Amino acid sequence: MSITQRSIHSTVSHVATSQQDPKERILDCAQQLFARRGYAGTTTRDLAQTVGMAEGTLFRHFENKKAILIAVVTRGWVEVLTDLLTALSEMSSYKAVDQVLRNRMIHFHENADMLRVCFMEAQFHPELSSRIQTDIIDKMTEVAEAFFQTAMCWDERNATTIPRRPR
């Protein structure tokens, strides 16, 4: 293992634990490697060494390196948006929206690697851009629809007479 490979391995290896599902280990390590070195700068050999498996084993879990990139980005966004949807659906008032969004912004740094990979690589990979538009935009629409449905239900339960302006 070269000095560079040892450095990469030591930087990322704390993320992947042997207890974790191999596919999740691959995605966790790929996310960090892609964020640090870019997609083009990360070889499947480096990724396999970082994960602690043979290079061929990567391809038992993913068709190719591009499939790993797409899985990293879509998994990350789905997690972020699902968390947001859950928080918004549990809110008890409109004021809670502010708190939910503030909490998400405070913890946004936890997703920095995924965001870095997404925004760096989407411009070079049409398949990734397309997947973002389908999967992620659909999930964002689901989050928005659920939020507005919750808000309308809350408003109906807590309706008060609000003077309307004359037209």
Whether the CB-CB separation of 51 and 25 falls below 8 Å is answered with yes
Q: Where are the domains of the chain?
A: 3-62, 66-157
Taken in order 73, 79, 84, 85, the sign of the CA dihedral is positive
Mean pLDDT of 126-152: 74
The arrangement of secondary structure in 3-62, i.e. its CATH architecture, is Orthogonal Bundle (1.10)
Residues 74-115 have pLDDT tens digits of: 888 777 777 777 777 676 666 677 777 777 777 777 777 887
Q: Which backbone phi and psi does 114 adopt, to 5 degrees?
A: -65, -45
- pTM > 0.85: no
